[in-house]
């Protein structure tokens, strides 16, 4: 490595001399042996040969490098080789343009304010307070509220009195009386007693003052024949002849086997206006005497199939 450094130095010096058109001879320095045992014998220094290339003398040094023996830990002696290498001058850098500084305006001198004495207001003496008269408390006046006039009670609408009179012209009265219609319990009595008692109770309840009906055996016989026929045929409007002339009326109730079973349908329900099949309440009017002034009655029943009951009314 040291020989390489020397060669590099020589080549550098040669190049510098060639650039100056003057190539002085250069004597290579002697290299100290690495082996201290041979320090007494000087090593032969090879002489450089001169070679002229393009008018420049170059020194060529042949250095025989012997194989390096195994290093012995001895103190080494070094010689520093200093070569004078001309320093290269660095080019001056281009001047950096300086930023122009803004010109600050000169401050405008402010006029000094003259020291003018300020006059202080004269403090006048305060007058003594004038004594105020003592204010006595006033008695509290309580005003009683004026009573507001009591409004007169609003007149109440007069409730019309319910007309309990039942008639052809006042069926509404019949509806009211139907609410208290409680016939006597005569079920199980003879046909004459049962049917006659129920018919006269209805006349007294809905048409008070009317005379009671009387039993007619012939009308009762015709009524029984009509009941058997209606029960056998199973029809609700099988009205048959119950006597000569046109002075009679007839009520028929299929599925009713007695006058007690027929009473609610003939009387109470029709008087209350609750029978959609008989809105004119014809059975009810026959019994209480609104249709005709009947005076006699005869009834009969049949137990065939669902049963049927018929009552005939005559003058």
Q: What is the pLDDT of residues 254-297, one digit of tens each?
A: 888 999 999 999 999 999 999 999 899 999 999 999 988 999 99
Least Cα distance to 254 among 215, 283, 220, 221 occurs for 283
By DSSP bridging, strand 296-302 and strand 214-215 are parallel
To the question of domain 188-314 being in CATH 3.40.33.10, the answer is yes
Cβ(201)–Cβ(182) under 8 Å?
A: no
Q: pLDDT tens digit string along 71-83? A: 555 554 444 444 4
The residues pairing with 110 across neighbouring beta strands, listed in sequence order, are none
Least Cα distance to 251 among 297, 205, 192 occurs for 297
Distance CA 1, CA 83 (A): 17
Distance CA 51, CA 97 (A): 53
Longest CA–CA separation in the chain, Å: 194
Mean pLDDT along residues 287-313: 92
By DSSP bridging, strand 248-254 and strand 56-60 are unpaired
What distance, in Å, lies between the first and last C-alpha atoms of the chain?
A: 172
Cβ(176)–Cβ(199) under 8 Å?
A: no
By DSSP bridging, strand 308-314 and strand 296-302 are antiparallel
Q: What is the mean pLDDT of the chain?
A: 71
Query: Domain locations in the chain?
Result: 188-314
Distance CA 10, CA 45 (A): 16
pLDDT at site 136? 64
Mean pLDDT along residues 118-126: 65
* Greater pLDDT, 228 or 15: 228
Distance CA 198, CA 202 (A): 6
Which DSSP category does 151 fall into? P
Distance CA 68, CA 41 (A): 17
């Amino acid at each position: 490595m040291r020989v390489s450094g020397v060669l590099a130095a020589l080549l550098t010096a040669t190049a510098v001399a060639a650039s100056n058109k003057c190539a002085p001879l250069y004597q290579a320095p002697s290299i100290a042996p690495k082996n201290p045992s041979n320090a007494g014998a000087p090593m032969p220094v090879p002489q450089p040969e001169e070679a002229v290339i393009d008018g420049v003398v170059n020194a060529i040094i042949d250095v025989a490098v012997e194989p390096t023996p195994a290093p012995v830990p001895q103190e080494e002696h070094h010689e520093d080789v200093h070569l004078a290498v001309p320093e290269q001058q660095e080019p001056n850098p281009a001047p950096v343009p300086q930023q122009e500084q803004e010109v600050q305006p000169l401050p405008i001198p402010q006029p000094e304010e003259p020291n003018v004495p300020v006059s202080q207001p004269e403090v006048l003496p305060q007058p003594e307070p004038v004594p105020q008269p003592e204010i006595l408390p006033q008695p509290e006046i309580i005003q009683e509220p004026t009573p507001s006039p009591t409004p007169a009670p609003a007149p109440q609408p007069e409730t019309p009195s319910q007309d309990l009179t039942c008639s052809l012209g006042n069926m509404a009265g019949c509806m009211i009386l139907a609410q208290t219609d409680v016939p006597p319990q005569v079920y199980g009595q003879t046909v004459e007693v049962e049917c006659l008692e129920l018919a006269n109770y209805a006349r007294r309840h809905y048409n008070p003052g009317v005379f009671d009906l009387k039993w007619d055996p012939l009308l009762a016989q015709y009524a029984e024949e009509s009941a058997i026929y209606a029960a056998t045929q199973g029809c609700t409007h099988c009205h048959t002849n119950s006597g000569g002339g046109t002075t009679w009326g007839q009520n028929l109730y299929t599925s009713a086997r007695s006058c007690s079973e027929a009473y609610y349908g003939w009387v109470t329900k029709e008087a209350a206006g609750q029978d959609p099949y008989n809105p004119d309440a014809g059975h009810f009017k026959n019994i209480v005497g609104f249709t005709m002034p009947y005076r006699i009655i005869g009834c009969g029943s049949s137990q065939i199939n669902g049963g049927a009951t018929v009552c005939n009314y005559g003058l």
